[in-house]
Structure 1
Amino acid sequence: MPTYAATGLTGPALVPTVSVSPVALPAPHRGADLPVRVTAPVTGSGLPVVLFAHGFGSDLDGYAPLAAHWAAGGFVVVQPTHLDARRLGLAPDDPRRPGLWRQRVQDMRVVLDALGTLEAAVPGLPGRVDRTRIVAAGHSFGGQTAGLLMGLRVTDPLTGEVPDLSDARVTAGIQIATAGRGGDTLTPYAREQLPWLREQDFSALAAPSLVVAGDADELPLSTLGPAWTTDPYTLAPAGRSLLTVYGGRHSLGGISGYAAAETTDENPDRVALVQHVTLAYLREVTGAGHDDWAVARAALAGASHPLGRLESK
């Protein structure tokens, strides 16, 4: 069994992968097709699916350290490009901009409805996907998107409504360095520029989830400091876990790609930790039959591991 760099953790061997992009899906709610990347292992059957929502400004080409790793570990990873992607150049006065948070969830529903089309687009993949085991994952803004699919409630800043945008097809989630509570904990910048963060309710999160947070993630959005990104764990019901990455800033060592400008704490060991723990969690919640989640929980319990700690409730 391979060892994950300085993490000292082990897991099942990884396999080669194949990736196809862009696959264009009709998406009338966007006013344009939805471009999607699909990455999958070249071997195996009954493969679970991970829907990955990128952070604000990224796209389907980002997050290779995670997407490729999860695929090599036995998952079909689907990455749409949301409307906030820098490459799409959405104008500041575009009427779609205030509803970006809801449009992202609509993007994910388009993907869920088109899993057969996406499966057929990858050579050798048809007949090897288990569409009953689907995990929603995301980083930063994408973590909120994944949360909404699991039952997170957000007050619509335009209407005051609190819609239920959850999807029963999503069986679990991974929320990485994502937003916490709103209210008076938000900075004036966040309240003005990101109004969909003003009111968030984590109490209805039903599906099990893993929250990943860096203890040095000082975002200019909240007065709570790095603890803000642990709210999706601390304010949610039981049935979830929290990985705290020591010294991790918002990119947690480079999960969005080492060359990405937003990576201010480039650290291969932190990336390896996030890779290993998230893959172990994916295997655990989809019943993949490996024991690497139990191994990770034992190794990262308490405060003895140099890279981070793992706790559950």
Structure 2
Amino acid sequence: MSVPEQQPSPVISVRPVVLPAPTRGTDLQVRVTAPVSGTELPVVVFAHGFGGNMDMYAPLVEHWAAHGFTVLQPTHLDSRTLAVGPDDPRYPVIWRIRAADLTQLLDSMETIEAYVPGLAGRIDHERVAVAGHSWGGQTASLLLGARVLDADGTPGEDLSDPRVTAGVLLATTGTGGADLTPFAAEHFPFMSPSFAEMTTPALVVAGDQDTSPLSVRGPDWFTDPYHLSPGPKSLLTVFGGEHSLGGVPGHGVTETTDESPDRVALIQHVTTAYLRSVFNPDDPAWSQVDPGSLGRIESR
């Protein structure tokens, strides 16, 4: 692997920043991670996977912050820390509330900035990306322009946000319908995306050994956000990567079945290079990335 990078900087992390959310039923808790120095810091809003929380994904979040990004991590209602179950009236629309959580963070950046010591005035509100892993990837994709198909197959509400100018989608599920198992089709009807309207630039990251109990397809299911959306898009295929992509949800997370520091390092460096270059076209980092024997990159 060959990826050019600057020296990392010390970071500060503050949690919880609590944002009132009366219509949500539970206030929105956020973790903010940023470098201790620097100005005009781009923002990455990160959506966790099913059952996760704002304290996960340290391998990615801390790496991005150490290389010049402010990262905002909400705890969504499906988090195991909140215990919102199927008997809760909000449960059927959690997928939509997840997207609203990300939008609320964008609406609240000045409040968040003021809450974190030393961060006020250092965030660049014009350079914003969304990112997410697994279900969080689908959540992030909605702000990039993806739609959830209605029962009749027509694209549902447009939840995209013009403030978002880039995305990173990690192990993000593909199309629904006949591609879903009967269990997934019955219990997760929102898992039926259309990527035809996802026009915002994005990097899709997929493991070539990621097989899901939710789909009758193989690992190629997780490449749909790349192949079925308009460009410009890039795809990083992680060789040997399963759903945790080597361990991006966290150090020692029990769900990780394919623990690999090398794969995690690859994703750290490739995503950082992508974000650097997508926010600054004069930055050559992305054009110089070589994943070597760990993976493959393609773009269109």
* Coarse TM-score class (shorter-chain normalised): over 0.9
SS of aligned partner of 1:218: coil
Q: Call closer, same or farther: CA 1:39–1:288 in 2, change over 3 Å.
A: farther
Q: CA–CA distance in 2 between the matches of 1:142 and 1:156?
A: 20
CA distance in 2, matches of 1:111, 1:241: 26
- Describe how 1:26-105 pairs up with structure 2 within 5 A: 26-105=20-99
Q: Report 1:181-260 matches (<5 A).
A: 181-197=175-191, 199-260=192-253
Gaps of 5+ in 1: 1-6
The answer to whether structure 1 residue 308 and structure 2 residue 291 are counterparts is: no
Q: How many residues align?
A: 300
Equivalents in 1 of 2:203, 2:3: separation in Å?
Answer: 18
1:9 paired with 2:3, answer yes
Q: 3-state DSSP class of the match of 2:32?
A: strand
Deviations 1:33-54 (CA, angstroms, capped at 9, x unpaired): 1000000001110001000000
**What is the DSSP-based 3-state SS (H/G/I as helix, E as strand, rest coil) of the residue aligned with 1:44?**
coil
Aligned residue runs from structure 1 range 43-192, under 5 A: 43-156=37-150, 162-192=156-186
Distance 2:78 2:283 in 1: 37
Q: Is the Cα–Cα contact under 8 Å of residues 205 and 236 in structure 1 kept in the other structure? A: yes
Contact 2:184 2:214 in 1 (8 A): yes
Shift of 1:183: 1.2
- 1:127-179 Cα distance to aligned partner (Å, 9 max, x none): 11100110010000000111100110102569987100111111111100011
Distance 2:102 2:150 in 1: 18
Alpha-carbon distance between aligned partners in 1 of 2:281 and 2:259, rounded to the nearest angstrom: 31
Amino acid at match of 1:312: S
Deviations 1:26-77 (A, max 9, x none): 1123101100000000111000100000000000000000010000010000
Q: What does residue range 271-290 of structure 1 map to in structure 2 within 5 Å?
A: 271-287=264-280, 289-290=282-283
Q: Normalising to structure 1: TM-score of the pair?
A: 0.93
Instruction: Name the Cα RMSD after superposition.
Output: 1.5
Residues 255 and 271 of structure 1 are in contact (CA less than 8 Å); yes or no, is this contact kept in structure 2? yes
| Gapped regions of structure 2 (runs ≥ 5) | none
Query: 1:289: Cα distance to partner?
Result: 4.8
Report the more deviating stretch, 71-80 or 188-197. Answer: 188-197
Q: What displacement does 1:288 show?
A: 7.3
Describe the shift of the 1:116–1:288 C-alpha distance in structure 2 as closer, same or farther (beyond 3 A): farther
CA displacement 1:193-221 (0-9 Å, x = unmatched) = 21111x31111011100000000001111
Distance in 2 between residues matched to 1:290 and 1:169, nearest whole Å: 21
1:154–1:200 contact (8 Å) kept in structure 2: yes
Identity %: 56
Amino acid paired to 2:174: G
